[in-house]
Structure 1
Amino acid sequence: MMLWELFFTFLKVGSVSFGGGYAVIPMIQYEIESHGWMTSSELQEMISLAGMTPGPIATNSATLVGYKTAGLAGALVTTLGMILPSLIAVILLASMFFRFNNSKWFRSVFYGFRPIITGLIIYAALNFGFLSGDETGFTWMTFVTLLICFGCLYAMFKYKLYPIVVLLAAGAAGIILY
C-alpha cells in the first residue's frame, strides 16, 4: 500500500513539474509534509543532497524520499512516478514541436510559462534559504547566506566563472563561515 501511495504521489508531482526541479520543490515539500514522511529539517538536508548529486534535483529528491520511506523499492517507485509523466510529455511534445514549431501561438504558450516558473524558483529559494521555520528573524546565518549568495552571483556575472568553481567556492565559504 505504501509503495502505491509513493508512486501516485510522485506521479502527481511529476505530472505538474514545469520549469525543472527547483520549480517543483514547493510541491514536493507540500506532499512530503502532508504525508508526514519527513520533518522540515530532513527535507532541507534531502534537497541539499539532491542538488549536489548528478542528475535532476526533482528526480533525485523523489528517489531519496522513496529510499528513506520504503527502502530500495520505495526509491524505485518514486523515481518511476517522477519520470514517467516527463517521458510521455517529451515524446508527445517532440512530435508536436516538429509539426507546430513555426506557430506563434505555440511559442507564446511556452513564453507564458516563464513568469510562473521564475516565481516558483524564487519561492523555493526563499522558503528553503530563509523561511524554514527553524529560526525567526534576521540572524547572522541569514546574513552569511545572503553574502555567499550575492558573492556567487557577482562572481558568475562579473567574472563569468564556471558554475562548478562557484559551487565549490560557496561550499568552502559555508564550511569556513558556519
Structure 2
Amino acid sequence: MELLIRLFIAFLKIGTFSFGGGYAMLPFIQKEIVESNTWISMSEFTDIIGISQMTPGPVAINSATFVGYKVGGIIGSIIATLGVITTSFILITIINKLLSKFKESKVVKAALLGMRPVLIALIIYAFIDLAKEAYVDLKSIIITLIIVVILLSKKVHPILVIVIAAILGVFFYA
C-alpha cells in the first residue's frame, strides 16, 4: 500500500509541476522515476520515450502506465496514471469556468508568452539527457543523420520514420 501511495504522489508531482506537454515533462519524469525513486533505469526510461512515440497517448500518461505496471502491476499502472492526470483534470475543470472571464486579460496573455521560452529549454534539456543514452556508438549517430535527412527532404509520416529507423537498427545491429 505504501508503494502505491508513493507511486501516486510521484506522478501527482509530475502532473502538477509540469507545464507544456509531454516533452517538457521529461526532465520531471526522469527526476522522479529514474533518480529519486529508482523505479527504472535510464536505459528503460529511454525505451519508454521510444515506446511512447509508437503508442497513442501523451508521453506522461504512457510513462505513468508503464512505470506503474512495472512497480505495482495493473493496480500500480492505474494509480500512477490517475496521479499524473489528477491535477490537470482539476485545473481544466476550474479553468473552463474561469476562462471566459479572463481570456482577453493582458496579464494572462503575457504570462503565457513568458512561459513559452522555458518550454523550449525543457525540451532541449530532455533531448540532451536522452541523447546521452541513445547515442551509444557511431551507428546510432548514422541512423539519426539518415532520419534527419529523410525528415528534412520529404514530408514523411512519423510511423514511417519509426519503421525506417527500426529497419536501420536491424541492418546495423543484427
Regarding TM over 0.5, the answer is: yes
1:160 aligns with 2:135: no
* Contact 1:23–1:118 (CA under 8 A) maintained in structure 2: yes
TM-score (norm 1): 0.83
After superposition, residues 22-171 of structure 1 pair within 5 angstroms as 22-32=23-33, 33-130=35-132, 132=133, 141=137, 143-171=138-166
1:173 aligns with 2:168: yes
Large movers: runs of 4+ above 3 Å? 143-158
Aligned partner of residue 10 in structure 2, secondary structure: helix
Letter in 2 for 1:96: L
Q: Provide the C-alpha distance between the structure 1 equivalents of 2:163 and 2:107, rounded to a whole number of angstroms.
A: 42
1:52-72 deviation digits (Å, cap 9, x = unpaired): 211111111011111101111
What percentage of residue pairs aligned between the two structures are identical?
A: 39
Q: Could you list the runs of 5+ residues in structure 2 that have no partner in the other structure?
A: none
* Contact 2:15–2:86 (CA under 8 A) maintained in structure 1: yes
Q: Shift of the alpha carbon at 1:154?
A: 4.1
Q: Provide the C-alpha distance between the structure 1 equivalents of 2:99 and 2:146, rounded to a whole number of angstroms.
A: 39
CA gap 1:163/1:42 in 2 versus in 1, 3 angstroms: closer
Letter in 2 for 1:57: V
Q: What RMSD over aligned residues (CA atoms) do the two structures have, in Å?
A: 2.2
Letter in 1 for 2:156: L
Q: Provide the C-alpha distance between the structure 1 equivalents of 2:105 and 2:11, rounded to a whole number of angstroms.
A: 33
Q: Provide the C-alpha distance between the structure 1 equivalents of 2:104 and 2:22, rounded to a whole number of angstroms.
A: 28
Aligned partner of residue 102 in structure 1, secondary structure: coil
Q: Shift of the alpha carbon at 1:39?
A: 2.0
Q: Shift of the alpha carbon at 1:171?
A: 2.7
Letter in 2 for 1:89: L
Letter in 2 for 1:169: I
* Contact 2:8–2:80 (CA under 8 A) maintained in structure 1: yes
CA gap 1:13/1:101 in 2 versus in 1, 3 angstroms: same
1:60-108 deviation digits (Å, cap 9, x = unpaired): 1011111101111111100000011111122222333322222232122
CA gap 1:155/1:89 in 2 versus in 1, 3 angstroms: farther
* Contact 2:53–2:59 (CA under 8 A) maintained in structure 1: yes
Q: Provide the C-alpha distance between the structure 1 equivalents of 2:127 and 2:47, rounded to a whole number of angstroms.
A: 14
TM-score (norm 2): 0.85
Q: Provide the C-alpha distance between the structure 2 equivalents of 1:51 and 1:121, rounded to a whole number of angstroms.
A: 15
